[in-house]
Structure 1
Amino acid sequence: MEGLIELTPGMTLADADDIKFRVEDALLRDPHISDAALGILEDDGVKNWK
């Protein structure tokens, strides 16, 4: 599974890393997911999700 986490403006990279690790851990608890790779992006102000 691959995904991206977009930073909230003003969020530190350390906080974003903590969130990324918590999300990866939660995903890997699902028996249907064997691997998870998440990236972190800065907020670009464009909403491209619903």
Structure 2
Amino acid sequence: MQDLFEPFPRVKLDANGDPDPQATDDAVLKGLAVHAQASAATMNWGIWRWAP
């Protein structure tokens, strides 16, 4: 899950300080998506497995 936050400093921001996906390198966005998917799957597995 810690890897999910690693690409955030490389995400470009627009003039308002909002993330700008069109200005951000595709490799950064791809890495962010891969880590987000893996983190969500891990959390989902943990919740499902330990739910009463």
Q: Could you tell me the TM-score, scaled by structure 2's length?
A: 0.41
Higher normalized contact order (CA 8 Å, seq sep 6+, divided by chain length) = 1
Q: Which has the higher helix share?
A: 2
> Which of these two proteins has the greater Rg computed from alpha carbons?
2
Q: Which has the higher strand share?
A: 1
